[in-house]
């Protein structure tokens, strides 16, 4: 469904562009004051058939840049904020055995503000495999956990053991909303809220830690989140590594996890920047080829204007202005198309592919940068044809009249 929407959107916009440009040039000609201005608009309209494919390529390249750039930047902004919410603890501990975990917890109790168990077990929800996590009733979750929808007093309901949270993937897949019943093996409760869980394709459920331990007493009790004053986290981590012989993976600070996660994100989407440059370059090459072809065919239109007193240098400047004008108008047309493309990618394609939806953010500064690049690409594409026109020999222009009958 999403692919068909994208195809129809891009193909329809590309085919509509020449019509819109023709109408704009026609309106410019009607509103122009002076013979030269009217000729400029009329001559531009006459060139549209030869430039249409190149301008359509430029439109699609710019729209793809805007759409994909908006998607990636929205993902980055949302993902960064989401990590800040999900990774609220200052340190994350993974013990090598439950006996060692118990010893560490006893040692940490007077040295930390809170020790939050991170226990999980495999389960089944509505006939599909899922992971169920336990959550301790603490301000860390009440203040930071990213909820998309929730019943009133959601955390009190979860703490009571009679309610659960489900991730967005499970909720969308099964059409669940807060207040619906939820059935796990040997337990039934209600859904108190739905939380965002970006990057995870699997179903996930959160219940209270006591409820989890009652349902799965065999659960592994090795992982904990440690809340401590941020300025004390590094000293506590160093003391724990020396006392318990923990390696780098046994005790990880919040900043390291965030940095690792963001580094993966940046590597994943680095290729999109290269593709954006490539598509813009291909569009610029198409414009160059079209302008080169047209420059050799336009002598019959330019010679009379030159003969009436317009210098070759001014004709060259008008040709450059025409190319920049068409690129600017194409950029303006690409903006709503690119935003529509971003919306389809975020609200339709991403939901179909991964089961979760990202909020859409706009970045006007990126549009200005892209517009400047589009004008630069158009100027480079027009450079050689315009230079050729400025250096055209008078005999070449006079030959047009010699061939007249």
- Please give the chain's pLDDT, 405 residues, in tens: 677 888 888 899 999 999 999 999 999 888 888 888 888 898 888 888 888 888 898 899 899 889 988 988 888 888 888 888 888 889 999 999 999 999 999 999 999 999 999 999 999 998 889 999 999 999 999 998 989 999 999 999 999 999 999 999 999 989 999 999 999 988 999 999 999 988 788 899 999 999 999 999 999 999 999 999 989 998 999 999 888 888 778 888 888 888 888 887 777 677 777 777 777 788 888 888 887 777 666 767 777 777 777 788 888 888 888 889 999 999 999 999 999 999 998 888 888 878 888 889 999 998 998 888 888 888 888 888 888 877 777 777 677 666 654
pLDDT tens digits along 255-306: 888 888 888 777 767 777 777 777 778 888 888 888 777 766 676 777 777 7
Mean pLDDT of the chain, nearest integer: 87
| The dihedral formed by the CA atoms of 345, 348, 349 and 351, expressed in degrees to the nearest 10 | 120
d(CA 120, CA 129): 13
Phi, psi of 225 (to 5 degrees): -100, 135
In this prediction, residue 1 carries a pLDDT of: 65
Nearest CA to 338 among 298, 366, 310? 366
Q: Considering the entire predicted model, what is its pTM?
A: 0.79
Phi, psi of 360 (to 5 degrees): -100, 130
Residue 251's alpha-carbon distances to 92, 182, 209, in angstroms, are 6, 35, 22
In this prediction, residue 88 carries a pLDDT of: 86
In this prediction, residue 347 carries a pLDDT of: 87
d(CA 360, CA 77): 10
In this prediction, residue 297 carries a pLDDT of: 66
Q: How would you label 337-354 residue by residue, b for 16+ Cβ within 10 Å and e otherwise? A: bbbbbbebbbebbbbeeb
In this prediction, residue 296 carries a pLDDT of: 64
Nearest CA to 148 among 198, 190, 107, 214? 198
pLDDT tens digits along 186-240: 899 999 999 998 878 889 999 999 999 999 999 999 999 999 998 999 899 999 9
Question: CB–CB of 182/154 below 8 Å?
Answer: no
């Amino acid at each position: 469904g999403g692919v068909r929407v994208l195809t129809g959107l891009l193909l329809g916009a590309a085919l509509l562009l020449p019509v819109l440009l023709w109408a704009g040039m026609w309106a410019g000609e009607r509103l122009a004051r002076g013979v030269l201005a009217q000729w400029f608009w009329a001559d531009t309209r006459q060139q549209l058939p030869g430039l249409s494919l190149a301008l359509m390529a430029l439109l699609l390249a710019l729209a793809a840049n805007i759409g994909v750039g908006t998607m990636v930047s929205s993902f980055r902004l949302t993902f960064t904020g989401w990590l800040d919410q999900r990774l609220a603890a200052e340190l994350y501990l993974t013990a090598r055995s439950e006996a060692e975990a118990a010893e560490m917890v006893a040692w940490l109790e007077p040295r930390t503000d809170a020790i939050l168990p991170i226990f999980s077990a495999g389960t089944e929800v509505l006939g599909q495999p899922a992971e169920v996590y336990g959550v301790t009733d603490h301000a860390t979750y009440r203040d930071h956990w990213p909820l998309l929808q929730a019943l009133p007093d959601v955390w009190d309901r979860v703490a009571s053991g009679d309610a659960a949270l489900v991730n967005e993937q499970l909720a969308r897949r099964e059409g669940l909303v807060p207040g619906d019943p939820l059935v796990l093996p040997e337990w039934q409760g209600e859904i108190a809220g739905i939380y965002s869980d970006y990057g995870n394709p699997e179903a996930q459920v959160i219940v209270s830690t006591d409820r989890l331990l009652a349902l799965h007493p065999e659960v592994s009790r090795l992982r904990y989140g440690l809340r401590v004053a941020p300025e004390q986290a590094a000293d506590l981590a160093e003391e724990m590594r020396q006392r318990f012989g923990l390696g780098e993976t046994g005790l990880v600070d919040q900043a390291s996890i965030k940095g690792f996660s963001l580094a993966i994100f940046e590597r994943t989407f680095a290729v999109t920047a290269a593709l954006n440059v490539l598509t813009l370059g291909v569009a610029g090459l198409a414009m160059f080829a079209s302008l080169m072809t047209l420059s050799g065919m336009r002598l019959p239109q330019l010679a009379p204007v030159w003969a009436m007193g317009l210098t070759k240098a001014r004709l060259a400047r008008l040709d450059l202005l025409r190319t920049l004008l068409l690129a600017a108008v194409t950029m303006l047309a690409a903006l709503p198309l690119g935003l529509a493309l971003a919306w389809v990618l975020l609200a339709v394609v991403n939901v179909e592919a991964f089961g979760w939806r990202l909020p859409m953010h706009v970045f006007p500064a990126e549009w200005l940068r892209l517009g400047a690049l589009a004008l630069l690409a158009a100027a480079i594409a027009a450079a050689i044809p315009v230079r050729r026109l400025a250096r055209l020999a008078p005999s070449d222009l006079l030959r047009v009249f010699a061939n007249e009958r």
